Amino acid sequence: MNTQNKKSHYMKWLDPGQMHRASVQWMSELKFTRDEQLFLNDLVKEYTLPLTDSEIFGESQDIIGAILSAEKEVVLLLKKVQAHENKLQVMLDNVDQLQQEKAYIASHWKIQSEINDYLTGYRTVKAKLFKLVSMVMKKDKNKYLLH
């Protein structure tokens, strides 16, 4: 017996309320991240001189570059989520528009994936910055204790 293995593409159907709540949650997380980045910028400014130390300059430059890139990306994601939320009407208009509704749901899942990837990468960069600044602070503290 020869059976063919068919792959079916299953997409979970969400109701408009679920998608709206998800969009609101995304906006909240992204806005918090954007505010948090202001704190990180202040942290970098406060420790600029020690972060330019030749021993860690390359690492500092990479991390700061990644944070600046994340700042730009969060703005784009906020705009994307807002545009997505504005198009939610297609799901609420009581008109059967199966293709547009499928496209909206597909974009919903795509945005969710993009945000998850972004937040994962951002948390990694943030942890690296905290580790680096912590190391600089300890080194600075030891310098003052020795004098």
- Which pLDDT value is given to residue 139? 80
Contact 16, 88 (CB under 8 A): yes
For the stretch 15-47, pLDDT in tens is 888 899 999 999 999 999 999 999 999 999 988
In this prediction, the residues of the chain whose per-residue pLDDT falls under 70 are: 1-13, 94, 142-147
- Which pLDDT value is given to residue 23? 94
As to burial, measured by CB atoms within 10 angstroms (0-12 exposed, 13-18 middle, 19+ buried), residue 122 is buried
Contact 30, 77 (CB under 8 A): yes
Q: How far apart are CA 16 and CA 94, in angstroms?
A: 12
How many other CB atoms are found less than 10 A from the CB of residue 35? Answer: 9
User: Domain boundaries in the chain?
Assistant: 16-139
- Which pLDDT value is given to residue 12? 60
